[in-house]
Amino acid sequence: MNSEPIIQLIDVKKRFGSQNVLKGINLSIYEGKTTVVVGASGQGKSLIIKHILGLVKPDSGKVIVYGKDINKIRKKELKEIRSNFGVLFQNAALFDSMTVFDNVALPLRERTKANEEEVKKIVDEKLDLMELEGSDDKYPAQLSGGMRKRVGLARALVLNPKIVFFDEPTTGLDVALSNEMYRVFYRTQTRLGYTAVIVSHDVPKILKLADYVALMHNGVIQDCLPPEDFQTSDNPVIREFVQKTMGYIYESEEVEG
């Protein structure tokens, strides 16, 4: 961890009513790397992403993106920062009243001055990258879950963002589809070179893609480590998590050892 982090969460706290969800999150995300936040469901992992995106304001603490505290800047600056973001939401969040093509084209049409020809070219290129040729005219309701997520990813990538957030990219997909999602992710990241932040509970598979793994437990980030260190960490909480989710690997190693 030598370079400066591009995103930093410092002691972020958030409560909903009587529920203390985030109890002081500290997390740094580095450029060009893939950071995975893991943890059991219902811990508020997605909430971390929403804080970074500025959709939710923390009760206390700071969220710093590109050196700016996003809760203290003007709307215009926030817009500029967000133009570096691409987000794949948990349920893809496609606009159901628009076709696949219009969904992917929306950011181009609303945010750039590209004419229809250029829009078509870029959208077709992204849809090809997601292996979605031929479904331009379909509506989101006519697509399967996996296709919807790929359309969502195409939309997230259409403006060539520097940072892409994945909120549970494989939830609700079967094994084959989630493997395919990972392949799509790997292919696009090597091609476009974005920084990725993934929230997932699909351990251990997700660890293969990660540069850093952060475990969220009890409202705090226990530690953020490269996958190899993560698996052999001394932190008792991480150890318990690793044993619970990857017990099989360890047992077999122990047998071999």
CA distance linking residue 224 with residue 220, whole number of Å? 11
Of 82, 113, 90, the closest CA to residue 173 belongs to 90
With contacts defined by CB under 8 A, name the span among 58-66, 77-85, 114-122, 187-195 that binds other proteins: 77-85
Question: Does 66 participate in binding other proteins (rule CB under 8 A)?
Answer: no
Q: What is the closest distance, in whole angstroms, from the C-beta atom of residue 83 to other proteins in the complex?
A: 5
Identified binder of other proteins from the candidate list 6, 22, 36, 87, rule CB under 8 A? 87
Nearer to other proteins, 53 or 173 (CB): 53
The pair of structure tokens assigned to 115 is 């004419």
Question: Does 95 participate in binding other proteins (rule CB under 8 A)?
Answer: yes
Q: Which residues contact 69 (CB under 8 A, 6 or more apart)?
A: 62, 63
Radius of gyration of the chain (CA): 19
Q: Which residues contact 251 (CB under 8 A, 6 or more apart)?
A: none
Nearer to other proteins, 104 or 238 (CB): 104
Nearer to other proteins, 104 or 224 (CB): 104
Nearer to other proteins, 159 or 237 (CB): 159
Of 46, 104, 110, the closest CA to residue 82 belongs to 110
Contact pattern from residue 185 through residue 204 relative to other proteins, giving x for each residue in contact according to CB under 8 A and a dash for the rest: --------------------
CA distance linking residue 173 with residue 181, whole number of Å? 9
Residues 220 to 239 in contact with other proteins, rule: CB under 8 A:
none
Question: Does 21 participate in binding other proteins (rule CB under 8 A)?
Answer: no
Of 211, 195, 215, the closest CA to residue 203 belongs to 215
What residues are paired with 213 via a beta bridge?
36, 225
Residue ranges that bind other proteins, judged by CB under 8 A: 50, 53-55, 79-80, 82-83, 85, 87, 89-91, 93-96, 106-107, 110-111, 159
